[in-house]
Structure 1
Amino acid sequence: MEKNAAELLKKYLSGQCTPEEKAMVEDWYLQLPFQKKAPAAEQIEASHDEVLDRLKQRPKTRGIGYLKHIAVAASILLCVGLGFVLFNRKIEPMAGLAKKKLEDVLPGGNKATLTLADGSVVDLDKALNGEITKQNGIVIRKTENGQLEYIIQDDPDAVSGTNTIATPRGGQYQVSLPDGTKVWLNAASSLTYSYPFAKNERAVALQGEAYFEVAKDKQRPFKVRANQQIVEVLGTHFNVNAYSDEPMQKTTLLEGAVKVVAGGNEVRLKPDEQAKFNAASTELVVDKNIDPDQYIAWKNEVFAFNNEDLKSVMRQISRWYDIDVAYKGKITTEKYFGEIPRSANLAEVFKILELNHVHVQVSGKTMTITGN
């Protein structure tokens, strides 16, 4: 049976909760990282039936925005499983040593290396602001806010060259390319590009994930080659997730139009649509029922989960916190919904994600998750 959430909250506010009940209420609160104050008991009772009704009617995919608009108190129902947590589940806090080790794992930040045309490598994290180098009539400089930009100068003797900017696990970086296109690189990603771009196209090669705001140029389409797919645009905003360890490569369009070619197939996207490419089956499909903001949440310093299993969640955690993840036993198949700030240390993140059937051990840079 479900506990009466309103009565439990009243007991908590009056200091009459048992240790187990107190842990339960605090666990609910931790699963609402953006909420600044606890909900009133009246909110819980008023929204409880409404939330259950909505969950029964919930389609296969719902955006994170939908989750935010459900009454705050009742959103304790939205964390795992079919979208809800049973009120009577037992809370098993992390062991003290594991929690301490996780607290020492800090989030990622602006980290990247730049490989120049001559093969030399610049550590952008350590490089001073200002001009880094001048090659082929183009000045490459690091800005005060930790971004990389290219400034084209007239040079009749300029010859083409190739640069690669790469982020490690636990790193991210923003670069403004020679044509004015802005690119945000997620962790464990790389972008290779020529400068100046060719006269008939602007081609880049991506490994990992990046968000693009492409400068308009009708004479030169912008092409992103990512694993086995090519994304072609003239000027638009879109996100490409093409990590090699992900089962599906996803191109999400926010503005403009793009063409995606993969596996011998071709699709065209409109805003708020997503192309999904399965490299194993070479199947390329369009998903029109998505919340695009979920797929660029990383760019806005947030993890956003919508019906994702634990291993999918942990792949994102692994890249951002530069840790390895191992599994033992039967791992839960419950699903996660919600948002977590990427600025949190790993202990805070795992407390929000922690389930009754999941236990964690930490050894060096490896986190082992043990199921039943």
Structure 2
Amino acid sequence: MHKKEENNRSTKKRGFEQTSSNDIIQLIKKNDSVLSAEEKDHIWRNISGKTIGKKQRFIVRTLSIAASILILVVGGWGIYRLTVGKADIYKEITANINIDTLHTSCLYIGKQVIELDRQAEVYCNSEKGQLKIVNRDGNSFNISVPDSKENPFLQIAVPQGNKARIILADKTTITVREHTKMVFPIAYNEKTREVYLEGEAFLDVTKNPQKQFNVKTQDIDVSVLGTSFNVSAFPERNIQSVVLVRGRVKVSASSGETVTMLPNQKYTFDKSEQKNTLNNIDPYNDICWKEDLLVLDKEPLSVVLEKVCKHYDTNLFYNAQDMSKIKVSGKLDISVPLDDLLKMLEKIAPNQITIDTLKKTIKMNVNPK
């Protein structure tokens, strides 16, 4: 009996050793096949032995790829997930939304899309797995969020003329500027707090020495424990910036350089030249957009009008070359109706322009003072 079993094993071994390359490939293609250690060792010896000539090298390459596929099948999708970086995941999420086609802010929870008020607030309640949406008029409603393991990321898209506030689970408050997309969690993981930004936002981060807070963008990353700061990182713009109001932050750029900032400093990163600068400033002008204010300091009127058109999602008719000759200073409240804002423009550029609010035309006076 023992002799018969030994003969069977011997026959099986000889048969396996005589297996051709094509047979090996077919064997590997069977995902449900279970190979013994001896069989796996023989496959690799068979593969490594066939290294003479182009045809054999092609076979080796084919078998290596096939064996890799088998390993992936056995290991499952977990291996794939380990090789995909977070930045790639974030970009995949934001790439699905064209913000230029939106007229009001939208919140994305998996495949669910919730339209928001032009200045809505979103409160994250990780314990209940809910979001509370509060509109500008005070009306509110709750939304249940599916299992965070299945849908770990939420996204908000804020188009022109809109603004939104996100209050995260730890009470960190993020004011999201128009034309901005942001990915955020309803609950943090055990080690870090993290959001991904394409656009501009002001963050007031709740202090937690045990959990660092990270803001990731395409070109710069900001790391803090608890502080207030503004990040401007529009993908289409060459200059990215961070303005620090309170606390300390560390900024890492795609160039590999890292800078630690102190309050009342502004960090700028030039993507095309891969260079950064750090200057002392008054941060108010960079963060007053939170209060719906546009602060102007000898700015060409053509630039101001371009900003107004984008904010109100409208067209104004003017000669850009003429308007660039007029420099204006002051504050504009961009929360008011467009007609009221145009009247403000006439006041900060007295005797220099004539505005027809009905036709939306701005003309430079013949002899501007």
In the TM superposition, residue 317 of structure 1 has moved relative to its aligned partner by 1.8
- Residue 122 of structure 2 contacts residue 166 of structure 2 at CA under 8 Å; is this kept in 1? no
- Residue 136 of structure 1 contacts residue 158 of structure 1 at CA under 8 Å; is this kept in 2? no
Deviations 1:79-126 (A, max 9, x none): xxxxxxxxxxxxxxxxxxxxxxxxxxxxxxx9521000x211001229
Amino acid in the other structure paired with 2:208: D
Aligned to 2:201: 210
Aligned to 2:178: 187
- Residue 207 of structure 1 contacts residue 227 of structure 1 at CA under 8 Å; is this kept in 2? yes
Amino acid in the other structure paired with 1:248: I
Assess, with a 3 A threshold, how the Cα gap between structure 1 residues 187 and 338 changes in structure 2: closer, same or farther.
Answer: same
Distance of 1:208 and 1:327 partners within structure 2? 28
- Residue 122 of structure 2 contacts residue 165 of structure 2 at CA under 8 Å; is this kept in 1? no
Distance of 1:326 and 1:242 partners within structure 2? 29
1:299 equivalent among 268, 279, 290: 290
Assess, with a 3 A threshold, how the Cα gap between structure 1 residues 180 and 329 changes in structure 2: closer, same or farther.
Answer: closer
Instruction: State yes or no: 1:353 paired with 2:349.
Output: no
2:111 equivalent among 114, 119, 126: 119
Aligned to 1:226: 217
Distance of 2:169 and 2:141 partners within structure 1? 8
- Residue 187 of structure 1 contacts residue 319 of structure 1 at CA under 8 Å; is this kept in 2? no
Amino acid in the other structure paired with 2:220: Q
Deviations 1:326-354 (A, max 9, x none): 77552424433211112322233233335
- Residue 242 of structure 1 contacts residue 249 of structure 1 at CA under 8 Å; is this kept in 2? yes
Distance of 1:244 and 1:363 partners within structure 2? 35
Distance of 2:283 and 2:121 partners within structure 1? 34
Which shifted more, 236-245 or 208-217?
A: 236-245
Assess, with a 3 A threshold, how the Cα gap between structure 1 residues 151 and 183 changes in structure 2: closer, same or farther.
Answer: farther
Assess, with a 3 A threshold, how the Cα gap between structure 1 residues 136 and 346 changes in structure 2: closer, same or farther.
Answer: same
Aligned to 1:319: 310
Q: Which has the larger radius of gyration?
A: 2
- Residue 275 of structure 1 contacts residue 287 of structure 1 at CA under 8 Å; is this kept in 2? yes
Distance of 1:235 and 1:130 partners within structure 2? 21
Distance of 2:315 and 2:224 partners within structure 1? 36
- Larger relative contact order, structure 1 or 2 (CA cutoff 8 Å, min sep 6): 1
SS of structure 1 residue aligned to 2:182: strand
Distance of 2:336 and 2:122 partners within structure 1? 30
- Residue 138 of structure 1 contacts residue 150 of structure 1 at CA under 8 Å; is this kept in 2? no
In the TM superposition, residue 227 of structure 1 has moved relative to its aligned partner by 3.3
Assess, with a 3 A threshold, how the Cα gap between structure 1 residues 157 and 295 changes in structure 2: closer, same or farther.
Answer: closer
Assess, with a 3 A threshold, how the Cα gap between structure 1 residues 370 and 222 changes in structure 2: closer, same or farther.
Answer: farther
- Residue 302 of structure 1 contacts residue 339 of structure 1 at CA under 8 Å; is this kept in 2? yes
Assess, with a 3 A threshold, how the Cα gap between structure 1 residues 186 and 232 changes in structure 2: closer, same or farther.
Answer: same
Instruction: State yes or no: 1:284 paired with 2:251.
Output: no
Instruction: State yes or no: 1:272 paired with 2:264.
Output: yes
Amino acid in the other structure paired with 1:214: V
In the TM superposition, 1:1-372 aligns within 5 A as: 111-116=104-109, 118-125=110-117, 138-143=129-134, 161-244=152-235, 246-264=237-255, 265-288=257-280, 290-324=281-315, 328=319, 330-331=321-322, 332-354=324-346, 355=349
In the TM superposition, residue 294 of structure 1 has moved relative to its aligned partner by 1.5
Question: Which segments of structure 1 move beyond 4 Å, counting only runs of 4 or more?
Answer: 128-131, 133-137, 144-153, 155-160, 244-247, 324-329, 354-364, 367-372
Assess, with a 3 A threshold, how the Cα gap between structure 1 residues 262 and 316 changes in structure 2: closer, same or farther.
Answer: farther
Assess, with a 3 A threshold, how the Cα gap between structure 1 residues 148 and 256 changes in structure 2: closer, same or farther.
Answer: farther
- Structure with greater helix percent: 2
Gaps of 5+ in 1: 1-109
Assess, with a 3 A threshold, how the Cα gap between structure 1 residues 205 and 314 changes in structure 2: closer, same or farther.
Answer: farther
How large is the RMSD of aligned CA atoms in angstroms? Answer: 4.0
In the TM superposition, residue 148 of structure 1 has moved relative to its aligned partner by 8.9
Distance of 2:122 and 2:260 partners within structure 1? 40
TM-score by length of 2: 0.58
- Residue 125 of structure 2 contacts residue 186 of structure 2 at CA under 8 Å; is this kept in 1? no
Distance of 1:335 and 1:226 partners within structure 2? 33
SS of structure 1 residue aligned to 2:339: helix
- Residue 107 of structure 2 contacts residue 155 of structure 2 at CA under 8 Å; is this kept in 1? yes
Distance of 1:184 and 1:221 partners within structure 2? 19
Assess, with a 3 A threshold, how the Cα gap between structure 1 residues 252 and 149 changes in structure 2: closer, same or farther.
Answer: farther
SS of structure 1 residue aligned to 2:264: coil
Aligned to 1:9: none
Assess, with a 3 A threshold, how the Cα gap between structure 1 residues 230 and 148 changes in structure 2: closer, same or farther.
Answer: farther
Distance of 1:325 and 1:112 partners within structure 2? 24
Assess, with a 3 A threshold, how the Cα gap between structure 1 residues 147 and 184 changes in structure 2: closer, same or farther.
Answer: farther
- Residue 221 of structure 2 contacts residue 253 of structure 2 at CA under 8 Å; is this kept in 1? yes
Amino acid in the other structure paired with 2:219: Q
TM-score by length of 1: 0.58
Distance of 2:235 and 2:316 partners within structure 1? 16
